Chain A
Amino acid sequence: MTLEDKLRTALRETAGEIPDDPPPPLRLSPLAVSRQHDRQRPAKQHGAKQPRTQRHGPRWPAWTAPLAAAAAIVGVVAVLLTVVHDRPNVEGPSGQGSTTASGLAGVPPYYVALTIRGNYPDPAAVDSTAAEVRATATGAVLARIAVPRPYVHFSGVTAAADDRTFILVAEEKNNPPEQPQAYYPASRFFLLRITPGAPAGRRVSLRALPAGFIPANSEVRDLALSPDGTSLATDIISGVGGSQLYVFDLAAGTRRSWSFKTCQQCSPSSGGLGLAGLNVDALSWTADGRHLAFVGPFTAKGAVGPGASSYAPPPVRLLDVSAPGTNLLASSKVALRWPSGASKRLGPTWRGVVITPDGRSVVFLEQLVTFGPTGKIEKVRELLAKASVATGKVTDVYKNLKPVGQFQQVMYTNTTGSALVVNYFGLGYGWHAGILRGNQFTPIPWNPHTVTAAW
């Protein structure tokens, strides 16, 4: 049993000491809450401080991003580039062999990585995530892209199929409010184009996309660039209005959005596309650039809890972005249901769901749970699997890969899903990545400070 498994099991068994009995009555009286604090606090502290619930903290001011002024302009942003000629990746993990170009199995030769600078895991270093263009086979850094001010780090990246066009998300510094409430730092999309064969210093160009694409006090939860690089699909959650699926036409600067309501009184998509935002990293396109796959939404029909008898994670749905309509449910159809069947208990789920460009398969990370006779969790397994859209059945399970601890992300799939690039949290708590073909895993040179990448 790995450390993570042991930890997971210990936490769940310990939490299981709290029975499913009805909780104590809710008390919404300040006096009642104050009394609880008195009971909790040692006698010598009585009267020393106001009860915490009596304190009124300052409300964090809302962001005042200059949306209107910036919305119509697509400005060329000065890019600070440090171009490094092809050379061995000195930052790559030791002990991993290089993957030759001929061994890439159709995986594009370049990728854009988001990499933490400095001495990981120094938090100050983590706050300065930069983007790097790297060669897949060697890990060589072709160019580094500094974050345009006032943004301080890149938080997301997605790629078109041409291996030349990418979209980055840049975020301003996070200043969390004292009071727990919805808060997101301002962010913006940037279009990155790479020209690996160009002279040094001209290999990369970065353009800001309209600031109005991301409303103030909103967060980009997921993004996927269409294969032809003309449409950007995003799941954006806002402090007002919940989560919506947007598709931006990058050439025209226009957008369409889809949302849904799970009840008459509910905010549109307030639960997010997936289950309370649990299915991030789950937008993907088919090769025609017309169908967008996503997980969810989680509707009341599939809910569990008092009165519900079974549960299954939300399905993979396919949205035809060329069809009219704004209702996410009405405009999309189920492509694949959770293949492991409904459960009477909670725990099984999937994430990192990606449809293959041919539209025939779905690759996903599956969490399976074995329950004991008393309902306690006995075992948790995470598998990387592939299922057929036509049959709804699992066709491949990638297992017994050493020393893989747990797959974290599916960063690339070829047309059929026969070649994947995945990363995982391996032994020594380091990040690793490699190409998966069948059950053959070939590590690629990988900077252990790189947290995600797009091909």
Chain B
Amino acid sequence: MEPDEPGGAAALHRGAGRPAGDHWTGTGWPGARIGDHAAAAVAALYSDHAVSLIRLAYLMLGDRAAAEDAVQDAFFGLYRHWDRLDDPGRALGYVRTAVLNGCRSALRRQAAGRKLALHPTAEVSAEAAVLSREERAEVMRAVRALPDRQREALVLRFYLDLPEREIARIMGLRPGSVRSATHRALRALGQSLEEAR
């Protein structure tokens, strides 16, 4: 189960079934034209899934602004290629893959300029949190130290709870390769957390 995308493709259906104007009102993005089917469909998808995708990108990047940019970029890519999309029902998978690709690019750019620092965690009350702030920071530091592919596999598996086949589709890998990446990532994570003690 993907915690933030309960509707998945079904949510897209709901979006696609709405009147176009329903999703346009108030968004005010430049270049939008009433009656533009692609824009309406992309806007509907954005309305339903943007926050969850920003969260996904945030886990990958550790930077909220960069995460929002990666998601904007992905939706713009979807808009540009909408006419090439075989099945609008697959749009969420497309944009999710694009977000991950965007995160990889962002990480490469950031690596050239500066080391990606762990984003300061928001205040979480000790009672509400399962992990202590230090523990969580330690886990996230170790996650972000993993190679891109391994980190993606972990986030898709343990945050979005996607099955291997879906992860493989998103990452452009075979299920066996996903399994391998997950295995290595968990092993590296375990070692990293062990060494931190």
Which residue numbers of A lie inside 8 Å of B, CB to CB? 1, 3-4, 6-18, 20-21, 23-33, 36-37, 39-42, 45, 52-53, 59, 116, 120-123, 126-127, 129, 153, 155, 171, 174, 176-177, 179-184, 219, 221, 238-242, 262-267, 270-272, 275-278, 280-281, 297-300, 303-305, 311, 313, 346-349, 351, 367, 372-374, 376-379, 429, 451
- Chain A: minimal CB distance from B49 (Å): 9
Known: A3-B189, A14-B59. 9 other contacts (CB 8 A): A10-B139, A14-B140, A184-B169, A276-B166, A280-B166, A303-B6, A346-B1, A372-B127, A379-B130
Q: Is the CB of A129 within 8 A of B90?
A: no
- Chain B: minimal CB distance from A356 (Å): 22
Q: Is the CB of B97 within 8 A of A180?
A: yes
Contact A305-B85, Cβ < 8 Å, known A10-B143, A13-B131, A29-B29? no
Q: Is the CB of B155 within 8 A of A11?
A: yes
Contacts of A349 in B (CB 8 A): 1, 161
**Contact string, B32-60, partner A, CB cutoff 8 A, digits 1/0?**
10000001001100101011001110110
Q: Secondary structure at chain B's binding surface: helix, strand, loop or mixed? A: helix
Picked from A39, A271, A377, the residue with its CB within 8 Å of the CB of B8 is A271
Q: Is the CB of B68 within 8 A of A116?
A: no
Q: Is the CB of A18 within 8 A of B58?
A: yes
Contacts of A4 in B (CB 8 A): 158, 186
Nearest CB to that of A271 among chain B residues? B9
A275 and B77 alpha carbons, distance in the complex (Å): 25
Q: Is the CB of A26 within 8 A of B31?
A: no
Q: Is the CB of B1 within 8 A of A278?
A: yes
Q: Is the CB of A305 within 8 A of B43?
A: no
Q: Is the CB of B89 within 8 A of A280?
A: no
Contacts of A40 in B (CB 8 A): 65-66, 69, 106, 109
A262 and B31 alpha carbons, distance in the complex (Å): 31
A27 and B31 alpha carbons, distance in the complex (Å): 8
A429 and B113 alpha carbons, distance in the complex (Å): 36
Picked from A26, A262, A348, the residue with its CB within 8 Å of the CB of B75 is A26
Q: Is the CB of A10 within 8 A of B173?
A: no
Contact A303-B11, Cβ < 8 Å, known A241-B87, A429-B183? yes
A9 and B131 alpha carbons, distance in the complex (Å): 7
Q: Is the CB of A18 within 8 A of B64?
A: yes
Nearest CB to that of B7 among chain A residues? A303
A449 and B109 alpha carbons, distance in the complex (Å): 37
A42 and B165 alpha carbons, distance in the complex (Å): 37
A122 and B2 alpha carbons, distance in the complex (Å): 29
Interface presence of B147 (CB below 8 A): no
Q: Is the CB of A300 within 8 A of B14?
A: yes
A16 and B119 alpha carbons, distance in the complex (Å): 13
Q: Is the CB of B183 within 8 A of A121?
A: yes
Picked from A13, A184, A238, the residue with its CB within 8 Å of the CB of B136 is A13
**Contact string, B77-100, partner A, CB cutoff 8 A, digits 1/0?**
101110011111110111001100
Nearest CB to that of B80 among chain A residues? A53
Contacts of B2 in A (CB 8 A): 276, 278, 346
A-B contact pairs, 14 of them (CB 8 A): A1-B130, A3-B186, A17-B121, A17-B122, A18-B67, A24-B68, A25-B27, A26-B27, A42-B112, A127-B174, A264-B17, A300-B14, A304-B6, A377-B130
Q: Is the CB of B93 within 8 A of A33?
A: no
Q: Secondary structure at chain A's binding surface: helix, strand, loop or mixed? A: loop
Contacts of B93 in A (CB 8 A): 182, 276
Contacts of A25 in B (CB 8 A): 27-29
A6 and B135 alpha carbons, distance in the complex (Å): 9
Contacts of A18 in B (CB 8 A): 51, 54-55, 58, 64, 67
Contacts of B28 in A (CB 8 A): 25
Contacts of B121 in A (CB 8 A): 14, 17
Nearest CB to that of A129 among chain B residues? B176
- Chain A: minimal CB distance from B128 (Å): 5
Picked from A126, A179, A240, A348, the residue with its CB within 8 Å of the CB of B81 is A179
Q: Is the CB of A347 within 8 A of B135?
A: no
- Chain A: minimal CB distance from B69 (Å): 5
Q: Is the CB of A276 within 8 A of B9?
A: yes
- Chain B: minimal CB distance from A385 (Å): 16
- Chain B: minimal CB distance from A42 (Å): 4
Q: Is the CB of A23 within 8 A of B46?
A: yes
Interface presence of B4 (CB below 8 A): yes
Contacts of A17 in B (CB 8 A): 58, 64, 119, 121-122
Q: Of B31, B86, B166, which is in contact with the most chain A CB atoms at under 10 Å from its CB? A: B86
Contacts of A300 in B (CB 8 A): 10, 13-14, 17
Contacts of B85 in A (CB 8 A): 181
Q: Is the CB of A270 within 8 A of B90?
A: yes
Contacts of B139 in A (CB 8 A): 6-7, 10
Nearest CB to that of A242 among chain B residues? B89
Q: Is the CB of B179 within 8 A of A10?
A: no
Q: Is the CB of A9 within 8 A of B180?
A: no
Picked from B66, B89, B94, the residue with its CB within 8 Å of the CB of A180 is B94
A230 and B164 alpha carbons, distance in the complex (Å): 29
Contacts of A10 in B (CB 8 A): 131, 135-136, 139-140, 143
Contacts of B75 in A (CB 8 A): 26, 28
Picked from B58, B163, B177, the residue with its CB within 8 Å of the CB of A15 is B58
Q: Is the CB of B176 within 8 A of A367?
A: no
Contacts of B174 in A (CB 8 A): 126-127, 153, 155, 171, 174
Q: Is the CB of B175 within 8 A of A155?
A: yes
Q: Is the CB of B6 within 8 A of A311?
A: yes
Picked from A11, A53, A116, the residue with its CB within 8 Å of the CB of B59 is A11
